[in-house]
Structure 1
Amino acid sequence: MAEVAYTRIVAEVKRRIEAGELRPGDRVPSARAITREFGVAIATATKAHAVLRDEGLTVARPGVGTVVAGPAPRRDTDLGLDRIVAAATAVADRFGMAELSMRRIATDLGVATMSLYRHVPSREDLEVAMIDAALGELRVPPRYTGDWRADLEQCGRVMWELFQRHPWLGATMSLTRPQLSLNGMRLGEWVMGSLGPTGLAASDRMLVQVLLFSFVRGVAEAIQPEAEAMRDTGMTGDEWMETQEATFHRFVAEHPSPTYEELFLRTPDFEFDLDVLFEFGLARFLDGIGVWVGRRGCG
């Protein structure tokens, strides 16, 4: 109940700001005033205040209290969902989803934070819009080749390119609670359609589509942490590995492992990065599907 209560309070304060009942610089009801008005515990009122501050809607002013933040919202007839999504995507591409906030988007666009909520009701809605816009960038052929493996492979590659272009995408999309996206549905339909020559039932084609997405997404989830590590260290993955080479050789020597010794001490041309892992995994995935399709006597 406390969770529902604090969100209700936040929504009501947002409504008052949007309606002009509370203007920039006006005091927001104190935590104690909120407990009286809404009949909630002080902890719930305090949490509502914290959410409003985190979203950039209010600020605490010493000697005054909590007030509505920012200058008076200026009208921006060009502001719309597409601009908001583009600005949000630019932040996420460069800094990751952890650095994305409605306040930051508003600052980049030069508008009041509250003006964003006229076009996107919540952070969750914004993420769905970002996902849909990103998936809309996918370019798959308008026609199938008739070779299900070639079509499926090409789709896997364009998905991989998309996840590389938007490192936040893999970790943001949910497998078990998929976000409703028109472009996501179109992609799934294209993948399942490519399996038409196999004669597989729709349920089987759906499972193959989900597994292909899961594989590409699983490898892609390492892209964002690697990008963050590069920003933090100033080194690429290969450069970092070079700095660790002596330490790794010493570790292997102290803890003998024939296979690792063969790989890293006696195989100087062995390469391992996300692209190598993707290529190997995609090929083996398609090999496995091919064997399975063959055993079922499909095309």
Structure 2
Amino acid sequence: MAEAAYTKIVAELRRRIEAGELRPGERIPSARAITREWGVAIATATKAHAVLRDEGLTVARPGVGTVVAGPAPRRDTDLSLDRIVTAALAVADEHGMAELSMRRIAATLNVATMSLYRHVAGREELEVAMIDAALGELRVPPRYSGRWRADLEQCGRAMWALFQRHPWLGETMSLTRPQLSLNAMRLGEWIMGTLTPTGLGASDRMMVQVLLFSFARGIADAIQPETEAMRDTGMTGDEWMETQEPAFHRLIEGRASPTYEELFLRTPDFEFDLDVLFEFGLARFLDGIEVWIGRS
């Protein structure tokens, strides 16, 4: 009974806010006023206030009371799954998946949190929709060149670019229990199709596709931490490495480390960043596949 009562109160006050009957900054009925208007217990009125705060519709202001927060939320009819996914992508791209929440998405869209659930069942369904939307950015060529290595290389670079735009994507996509996404299947078909001229069977082509994805994702896992490190320290990776040089000298002092000494002390043109690492690894991956195909 109490559950139905507080839900009814929340719905009515939400309606008044969305209709503009209660405007930003205006006080909403106090708990005691709610008990009088709806004939409920004070605990029920307090619970209704808590739900409205959780939805981001109201805030408590000392000395004033509970007031409507910010601009009045949009009506639910303004919402769509596409708008929710677009907002979620923006949050995840900038802050990472750890900072993504329904409340944050709702605040971005200026809507009530609970209104999102009319379009998406929950976090898991939202993540699948985000994955599908991100992978949908890939522009698959209408035809292959017929040179499997060049085509597969193009696939690898396209994935790397996608992971750079969406650093959360790799860690969100499951390797062992893949989410059902039409655009993920489209990507897989594109990659496996490049190997058609080789005569490899479907299972072998699938293994190449999974390994290429895993390689690109593995390098991409470092993008978000590096971005956060740059933000926290104010230094690029190269600048940070320079600050470690005295400690490096102390570490190798009295120890035979000829390769490291050659690399870091006598090779001024040595570059180590994620793009260089990706290009080196992609070339070696393709070299290995080429040797394997030649032996098959």
Q: After the TM superposition, which residues 1-299 of structure 1 pair with which residues of structure 2 at under 5 Å, given as runs? A: 56-57=54-55, 74-296=74-296
Identity %: 75
Query: Is the CA contact 2:73–2:110 (under 8 Å) kept in the aligned structure 1?
Result: no
1:18–1:182 Cα change, 3 Å: farther
1:279, 1:146 → 2: CA distance? 22
1:256–1:23 Cα change, 3 Å: farther
1:99, 1:173 → 2: CA distance? 17
Query: Is the CA contact 1:73–1:115 (under 8 Å) kept in the aligned structure 2?
Result: no
1:245–1:22 Cα change, 3 Å: farther
Structure with greater Cα Rg = 2
Number of residue pairs the alignment of both structures matches = 252
Residue matched to 1:10: none
Superimposed CA distance per residue, residues 166-191 of structure 1 (whole angstroms, 9 cap, x where no aligned partner): 11111111111111111000000011
Deviation at 1:192, TM superposition (A): 0.6
Deviation at 1:60, TM superposition (A): 12
1:254–1:193 Cα change, 3 Å: same
Deviation at 1:204, TM superposition (A): 0.6
1:245–1:80 Cα change, 3 Å: same
Equivalent position SS for 2:235: coil
CA RMSD of aligned residues (A): 2.9
2:271, 2:99 → 1: CA distance? 32
Superimposed CA distance per residue, residues 60-117 of structure 1 (whole angstroms, 9 cap, x where no aligned partner): 99xxxxxxx9799651423111111111111111111111111111001100000111
Equivalent position SS for 1:184: helix
Deviation at 1:20, TM superposition (A): 6.3
2:12, 2:211 → 1: CA distance? 50
TM-score where L is the length of structure 2: 0.77
Deviation at 1:253, TM superposition (A): 2.4
Residue matched to 1:45: none
Deviation at 1:124, TM superposition (A): 1.0
Structure 2 residues not aligned, in runs of 5+? 15-27, 32-46, 61-67
- The one-letter amino acid of 2:115's match is S
Deviation at 1:231, TM superposition (A): 1.4
Query: Is the CA contact 1:17–1:23 (under 8 Å) kept in the aligned structure 2?
Result: no
TM-score where L is the length of structure 1: 0.76
Equivalent position SS for 1:141: coil
- The one-letter amino acid of 1:78's match is D
Structure 1 residues not aligned, in runs of 5+? 1-12, 28-48, 62-68
Deviation at 1:270, TM superposition (A): 1.0
Deviation at 1:238, TM superposition (A): 1.4
Equivalent position SS for 1:281: helix
- The one-letter amino acid of 1:155's match is C
